[in-house]
Chains A and B, each alone.
Chain A
Amino acid sequence: MNRYLIDRICRWLIYAVVATVVALILLFVGFLIAKGWSTVNWQFLTTASDDGLGIRDQLFNSLYLLILTLILSCPIALGSAIALTIYGEKSRFASVAKMAIQALSSLPSIIIGLFGFLLLVLKFKIGFSVLSGAIALTFFNLPILTQSMSLAIATVPSSRLDAGISLGVSQWHTIIKVVLPEAIPGMISGIVLSAGRVFGEAAALIYTAGQSAPKLNYGNWNIFDSNSFLNPLRPAETLAVHIWKLNTESIGPDAEVISQGTIVVLILTIVAFNFLARQLAHHWQHKIYR
């Protein structure tokens, strides 16, 4: 057979496969959105699941956990990223740490969840709670966030650091006033992308944040009250856990409808996060290179 013929056949085969896969994926995502689209409305978002067709508390729990997780993980990830990319770039300590971070990022999220269960729920007796969940999600988020922040910092030329140091400025102030501001676009998109991952995570949460969503009182600002929406020690089922729970244990009449609606909310939120990541990065880029 002629090699030009082979070339043409292979190329058309590739085109056909790619077209099929892309079509299937679009169909898949379109199907997900179409199925749940009619379920999602203001009422669905604001009704407690005990009161009918709604996911109010799960939605809030997801956001609350996300915010706490980011508050816990960002400083640690940032500090580690600086240590790995700038302070100990070539030290033995840094190479050990890099290996550890790689190992951590390769652990399945169920392992992180079980470890969180063991450490936080059983050992520290925090119980199935927002706090346990947020800490477990922090464990889950740290390696990825550290890696993306390291990458963002590494894009800043090291000559900036030399320049600052040669002016007699401390390395630390050069880092926080020159290097980090320049790395912000990359860091922000890293944070927001990781937020998407955290928002959809369930395996790390079922044995830490728990699988129940007590009805919350959004007017109760006393964080020690068990029905206060801010109470960090109450169990907090998230959207993703809700979908899992509905489909594994109590297959009620509305389970499928609620799941479909919840999926739309989940996917749209994550897509919005990704969009936001790109926009923010763009915005900052403009601000700095004005």
Chain B
Amino acid sequence: MEPNPLFTRSKEIRQDNWGRWLCYISVSILLLLVVTIIYFISSKGIQTFTKNHVSVWSFLTTADWNTGTLSGGKTDLGALALMTTSFVTTMLAAALATPLAFVIGIYVVALQPKFGQKFVQPIIELLLGIPSVVYGFIGLTVLVPIIRQHFGGTGFGILAGALILALMILPTITSLAIESMRSVDPSYQKFAYTLGCTRWQVIYHVILRISAKKLVVAVIYGVARAFGEALAVQMVIGNTVQMATSLVSPTATLTSKLTTDIGNTIDGTLPNNALWTLALILLLISLAFNLIVKGFTKGDRAA
């Protein structure tokens, strides 16, 4: 007697096992990658403290960075100046870009949706495609000379860095702002109009009020992108580790220091380890931004 086909295996079982296996391998590669990145950079980064016995406190709270022969054998490792410059430059960039991004967002969503969507938004998003070295190059060859002429100094410094970063994160914040303003239920707007509100009142009291939380997230995304940007900043910041005395004095950020020095130090030495510590700080701050966004969006979903 032929066995009942319901009790025999068929190729479909094999297909599903195989497909599931393939897909889960892929995800595992991604997970492994994240874990490995964090592990590698952490294990390298903490050697400054565990192997070279530099104090964590002084690393984070002093501002001098001297390694190698230029300082005559004297070694100072303080990341405060680097971190300060990173934060100040980033915040300044966000402060410049955010109002513009919101204004453009309002224009595209609430004032001229047709023209905005067809022309303005694509033009803004054109900036997204431009590689960061191009921004750096423009900063170096156009912006820095202009700053030098009008504000004095060498032209290199926080101002140049912030302006370039502002341009770079403008499309990021704008796109997200447009998305979040668009997600406001149009029936609220219609309702407000029937109450006799002016357009500006609808924009201010309805659209901005309701999308406020998402707009904050948009800005955080922009800030995170600016904070991690390396090459464009490195090309215009001046690359001198010191507390900036003005917006036009040369200084350095976490990312610019890493970019310039990691190839010039020998693996395993203290100056090299100290750079990996900077990388670790950068990694942790990036993950922190990620957590902040997560916190914001989580509240959203619950509401």
Contacts and interface: CB of A to CB of B under 8 A. Distances in A.
Direct A–B touching, Cβ under 8 Å: yes
Interface of A: 3-4, 6-7, 10-11, 14-15, 17-18, 21-22, 25-26, 28-29, 32, 75-80, 82-84, 87, 93-94, 96-97, 99-104, 106-112, 114-115, 117-119, 122, 139, 142-143, 146, 168-173, 175-176, 196-197, 199-203, 206-207, 240-241, 243-244, 247-248, 256, 259, 263, 266-267, 270-271, 274
A171 B19 contact: yes
Nearest to A246: B137
A173 B259 CA distance: 47
Interface of B, helix, strand, loop or mixed by DSSP: helix
25 contacts: A10-B200, A14-B103, A18-B104, A22-B119, A25-B127, A26-B123, A80-B27, A80-B30, A87-B23, A97-B27, A99-B294, A104-B33, A108-B286, A110-B258, A114-B276, A117-B262, A142-B33, A168-B12, A172-B16, A197-B129, A206-B259, A247-B140, A248-B260, A259-B137, A274-B129
Contacts of B167: 28
B141 interface: yes
Contacts of A22: 119-120, 123-124
B130 to A, nearest CB: 6
Given A110-B228, A111-B279, A118-B44, A103 B34 contact: yes
Contact of B103 (A18, A107, A139): A18
What 7 A-B pairs come out closest when comparing CB atoms?
A: A108-B228, A200-B131, A79-B26, A172-B19, A7-B198, A83-B23, A110-B230
B212 interface: no
Nearest to A138: B33
Contact of B134 (A14, A108, A139, A267): A267
B289 interface: yes
A101 B131 CA distance: 23
Contacts of A247: 136-137, 140-141, 235
A247 to B, nearest CB: 6
Contacts of B282: 108, 110-111
Contact of A32 (B138, B199, B263): B138
B227 interface: yes
Nearest to B38: A103
Given A110-B258, A200-B129, A263 B134 contact: yes
B225 to A, nearest CB: 8
B264 to A, nearest CB: 11
Contact of B130 (A6, A142, A267): A267
A32 B134 contact: yes
B153 to A, nearest CB: 20
B132 interface: yes
B296 interface: no
Nearest to A103: B290
